[in-house]
Structure 1
Amino acid sequence: MSGNFVDAGRNTELREFLRSRRARLTPQEAGLPPQAGARRVPGLRREEVAQLAGVSVDYYVRLERGRTVNVSEAVLAALARALRLNDTERDHLFAVARPTRHQRRPIPVRRVRPGLHLVLETLADSPAMILSHRLDILGTNRLARAVYTDFDALPYRERNLARYIFLDEGARELYVDWDQAARDIVATLHLHAGRHPHDRRLTELIGELALLDEDFRRWWADHDVHFHTHGTKRFRHPVVGELTLNFEALTPSGDPELILGLNTAEPGSSSEQALRLLAGRTSQSPPSPAGRPCGAGASGAVVSPWR
């Protein structure tokens, strides 16, 4: 398994995504009238999807086999309606149906502006980090390193949130709801892989995780796509115990491929007190090597370890 969505003229991600969305939707949910007799599949049949989308069965079969190129926006919109896709899934369908329209130029080196890194440092009471679309960790503040792990101490290649979640045993102990956090990571990677089908580094990351972790392989095969922009996370921290933190995933203005992940505690809560305790401990610790964030170059701008 890999993240390569287009292989030997066949659009494998389009094929598998359509199959997975068709399988999860019942005729009743799709608004089809009940039919007599037993059904061989729990979800929609191919001819039912074709009927709902207003295309021929033969054309839909070619689509689901990943053999059709130059799919029109009208057909894709009709399929999205027929399969009851949400906005994120609809965008993913459009992205993977026409991967050749995505530019093949190399992914530019991701740099975090010094001013953006300064934002991390000013958020002294909240764990915060900056990530790339591959979930490379490009910058963290002291409190993020205290809550999660000291990413600065890791080799560049390992400074990645997906690798941390799936390949670090400490992460499985830290996250109370590890299964949900891990599934969210898989769905986020799937979304970004659809948007960047020619990103070799992202393909290698997905392939490595699929090879090394059975949970990742199983959840990747579900083809779920979403990006959680906010919510709540629960931690079991080895120093301060239980933590319940709100999280926000923000896109910095002018840097649409970067993610600013921010965690906050409810005012007056035990979690807020725990964060203050951690902040006090980290304020007495030495700064990161050379006083720079992970991946920082001589200018102080953070550079992605994965170019």
Structure 2
Amino acid sequence: MDREQHSGGTRGTELGRYLRARRTQVTPEEAGLTAGVGLRRTPGLRREELATLAGISIDYYARLERGKETRPSPSVIDSLARALRLEEDEHDHLRSLAALAARTAPEPPAPPSRTVRPGVKLLLESMRPHPAHVVSRTGDVLAANPGGLRLLAGLEDWPAKQRNIGRYLFLHPAARELFDDWLGQIRGCVARLRALAGTDPDAPDLTQLVGELLLKSPEFARMWERYDVRGHSYGRKTFHHPEVGDLALGYQSLELEGTPGHRMVAYYAEPGTPDHDAMILLDLAAGAPGAPQRTDDTAMDITKKK
């Protein structure tokens, strides 16, 4: 996080930072403008071009980018979203930043919980052989069934408190080989963290992780500057797993009610397919059914009843 993000104008400047980042990614041609002749000092659209496309004054738009204007109307936000060619997730994020900037005083967030309820742990165990894990809002792996931990090859070798999806994707040597679409995975990870930074930029759990990744990963630093905020809660991933070979699994991410920021991510495959067989082998390789898996400071308190 840079110094500006920790200043008193965080809420307004975050809105401006997002507008500026998205403006640089829209070319005049994409916006229906003539690029003109000569070298452009600014990549993408100029401020005056975006203001014209959105139907607002150049001075007003400049104040938005600088964090001086913090109460844009919904119609202005929608006009800017159209001019910037934002997709639905990006448009929603722009609305959230505008609402945050308009608040007269920031609301102190509650410290994020790392405690996974016993009932959720039982659900994880009952889902075997389908890999599943619970992650925090910043991607910390808080609990997992055996396959859910083993699926991310090499993650279990790290101390429990270091197990984080973003840290794994960018810093673990096995991650690039594990994911068939590693580039897509890291883009999604950065987008999720960027969305969180827009609404809670000073959160200690976020600033610590982002600071570490900015320092250690050039790929993360480059993507962080783009300010993409697209999110994905379901889909399909292909893994090249060192223990069970290739497997393509569907996945679904579910928000856990009662514990803000916690999500369960579960993977699945059609029974009778090679992917399902590989998923079963992965579960068997991880240990006998009901064996406790250490995913935090204490082991999961689950044993199979005989």
Same fold (TM over 0.5): yes
Distance 2:128 2:289 in 1: 14
Q: How far apart are the structure 2 equivalents of 1:275 and 1:2?
A: 43
Provide the residue aligned with 2:67 in structure 1: 66
Where does 1:16-55 land on structure 2 (aligned, <5 Å)?
16-32=17-33, 34=34, 37=37, 40=40, 43-55=44-56
Paired residue type of 2:176? R
Question: Offset of 1:70 from its aligned partner?
Answer: 3.2
Please give the alpha-carbon distance, in whole angstroms, between the structure 2 residues aligned to 1:130 and 1:3.
32
- Find the counterpart in structure 2 of residue 5 from structure 1: 5
Match of 2:89 in 1: 88
Which structure 2 residues correspond to residues 115-194 of structure 1 after superposition, within 5 A? 115-149=119-153, 154-194=158-198
Percentage identity across aligned positions? 40
Larger relative CO (CA 8 A, sep 6+): 1 or 2? 1
CA displacement, residues 246-288 of structure 1 (integer Å, 9 cap, x when unaligned): 1111213444522111111243332211111222233438833
Q: Which 5+ residue runs of structure 1 have no aligned equivalent?
A: 301-307
Which ranges of structure 2 fall in alignment gaps of 5 or more residues?
none
Deviation for aligned residue 1:42: 5.6
What SS class does the counterpart of residue 185 from structure 1 fall into? helix
Give the AA of the match of 2:115.
R
Aligned length: 297
The residue type paired with residue 5 of structure 1 is Q
1:184-263 → structure 2 map (5 Å cutoff): 184-263=188-267
Aligned residue number for residue 305 of structure 1:
none
- Letter of the 2:70 partner, please give it: V
Once the two structures are TM-superposed, the CA of residue 296 in structure 1 deviates from its matched residue by 5.0
Query: Which amino acid counterpart does residue 270 of structure 1 have in structure 2?
Result: P
Give distance in 1, aligned partners of 2:13 and 2:134. Answer: 31
Would the alpha carbon gap of residues 167 and 150 (structure 1) be closer, same or farther in structure 2, given more than 3 Å must change?
A: closer
Greater mean alpha carbon deviation, residues 111-120 or residues 213-222: 111-120
Is the deviation greater in 73-82 or in 180-189?
73-82
Partner of 1:304: none
In the superposition, the TM-score normalised over structure 2's length comes to: 0.85
Deviation at 1:297, TM superposition (A): 8.6
Decide whether the 8 Å contact of 1:6 with 1:12 is kept in 2: no
2:115 maps to which residue? 111
Match of 1:303 in 2: none
Which AA in structure 1 matches 2:207?
Answer: T
Letter in structure 2 aligned against 1:113: R
- Opposite residue 71 of structure 2, the aligned amino acid is N
- The change in CA–CA distance for 1:298 and 1:277 in structure 2 (over 3 A counts) is closer
Question: Match of 1:282?
Answer: 286
What's the TM-score once normalised by structure 1's chain length?
0.84
